[in-house]
Amino acid sequence: MRKIVIIGGGFSGIAAARTLKKRLVGMKRLEITLVSERSHFVASPNLTNIATGDEKIAQITTHLSKLVSAPIKIEIDRVSSIHPLEKSISLESGAQLDYDFAIQATGTQLDWRGLEPNSHVIGCKKASDFLDVQERVIASLTRANEMLEKGESAIEALCTFVVIGAGPTGITLAAKLTVALKNRYLSEYSSELRKHVSVILVDADDRVLTEFPDLSPIAGMELERLGVDLRLKLKVENFNEKGLLFDNGETLDSENLFWCGGVQRISFLDEKRDRVCDASLRHLDYRELYIVGDAVDEQPITMNAHCAVAQGRLAASNIIADLSGRKASRWSNKGWPMIIDLGETKIAINSRGDVLQGRSARIYAKASRAKLLKEWMGSYSTWKFLMDEMLKKTSSTFFLEE
């Protein structure tokens, strides 16, 4: 019995599982297991919509069994370690999974950069984190409004919402939160409260979106147009009882701190290498282990859903090639689309490297999602996506069922 284990139920892991199932249908003496710590798939590009109330968690999640079905087994558990010499995986439940081939598609986790978060800070990574952001915003506004009604004026810390980190998640959250405050949340409170509310975006670099130099100036101008207060070249030194302390001695008082300041890959191997896999996405030392998606160390590109799907499919295809005695395919680091949603507008880079904004970016975003679904889910789901877009039934487009 040949055994294949996929670790991770995100874009890469699901793409790998679906590719294996499609191309190994009918193959005897083969067992495929998908291990995920969650029982559901989360459309991570839509997570900021949870924070602003534009979507509910149920709209951007679906059960793994609706995406990956028999004969693939789904194991809901957390991996504690991988033993590549023994070709086995230890789970936190105490179970042990042996494998002939494994795909690590475990994504990333928050990187606090050595800081100790306190009760004012919410780390923005999981769906529940962004729901906490929404609840914090509403609670802070309600409390501040009540204080105003009682004649109390010391409400600035409650009305100041600080997003730390000006990468894709940080600028999206700051932009959408600003729009949601103006168009939705503040309409339920007094006009006096609106004068005190601000959204501040903090980053240690001198510009936003530093990994996308072509998009950076456009994003910066759009954020300022929306009213986001950009505080750049400020490195957070510490969180304190009042808010933030920066390395230059400046402070910022706020009870609403949303950390988007970095992530790090999840690794289960002891050794540290500059690059853990070759062009076929195989581990350099352990040839039965494939590393894909955000789990790749020193990723030469910024990972997004399109790239994650492509890597998951490639790893699965190379396992199939190995089982069939064929040569493995190489990873092609071609251009990948990047779409940034700034609330009232979108900006994008297409696969050719062209910068798009406004209407052209919105059209490209829809076409890009349709292409992702076609590659990931199949033609029926693509059709359903297009129909949903046309009929405006839903804004969630990443998890449609077969």
For 87-108, the pLDDT digits (tens) are: 999 999 999 999 999 999 998 8
- Residues 209, 68: Cα–Cα separation, whole Å: 35
Residue 380 has what pLDDT?
40
Three-state secondary structure call for residue 372: helix
Are residues 91 and 78 in contact, defined by beta-carbon separation less than 8 angstroms? yes
* Exposure of 8 in the CB half-sphere (CA atoms within 13 A): 27
The pair phi, psi for residue 331, each rounded to 5°, is: -70, 130
The domains of the chain, with CATH numbers, are 2-45+59-107+266-335 (3.50.50.60), 121-263 (3.50.50.60), 337-402 (no CATH)
Q: pTM value? A: 0.88
Cis bond before residue 168 (omega within 30° of 0): no
CB atoms under 10 Å from CB of 203, counted, come to 25
Residue 90, amino acid = S
Task: Give the whole-angstrom CA distance, residue 302 versus residue 169.
Answer: 13
For residue 379, the SS3 value is: helix
Cα distances (Å, whole numbers) of residue 35 to 8, 102, 112, 305: 6, 11, 26, 19
β-strand 198-203 against 229-232: which pairing, if any? Answer: parallel
Rounded Cα gap, residues 96 and 79, in angstroms: 10
The gap from C-alpha 250 to its chain's centroid, in whole angstroms, comes to: 31
Angle at 367 between CA 217 and CA 317, to 5 degrees: 105
Q: Which residues of the chain have pLDDT under 70?
A: 26, 270-275, 294-303, 334-335, 351, 372-402
Buried b (16+ CB within 10 A) or exposed e, 101-136: bbbbbbbbebebeebeeeebbbbbbbbebbbbbbeb
What is the separation of C-alpha 164 from the centre of its chain, rounded to a whole number of angstroms? 16
The whole-angstrom distance between residue 372's C-alpha and the CA centroid of its chain comes to 16
Q: Do the beta carbons of residue 229 and residue 259 sit within 8 Å?
A: no
Q: Give the residue from 149, 132, 161, 134 showing the smallest Cα distance to 189.
A: 149
pLDDT score at 208: 97
Rounded to an integer, what distance in angstroms lies between the CA atom of residue 163 and that of residue 166?
Answer: 8
pLDDT tens track for 157-200? 999 999 999 999 999 999 999 999 999 999 889 889 999 999 99
Q: What is the pLDDT of residue 398?
A: 38
Q: Given the structure tokens 């992702």, which residue do they identify?
A: 372
Helix, strand or coil, per DSSP, at residue 123: strand
Instruction: Give one DSSP letter per residue of 310-350, joined into a string.
Output: HHHHHHHHHHHHHHHTPPPPPP------EEEE-SS-EEEE-
Tens digits of residue pLDDT in 62-90? 899 988 888 899 999 999 999 999 999 99
Rounded CA separation 229/224 (Å): 7
How many other β-carbons are positioned within 10 Å of the β-carbon of residue 264?
13
List the end-to-end C-alpha distance of the chain, in Å, as a whole number: 29
Contact between residue 148 and residue 189 where contact means Cβ atoms under 8 Å apart: no
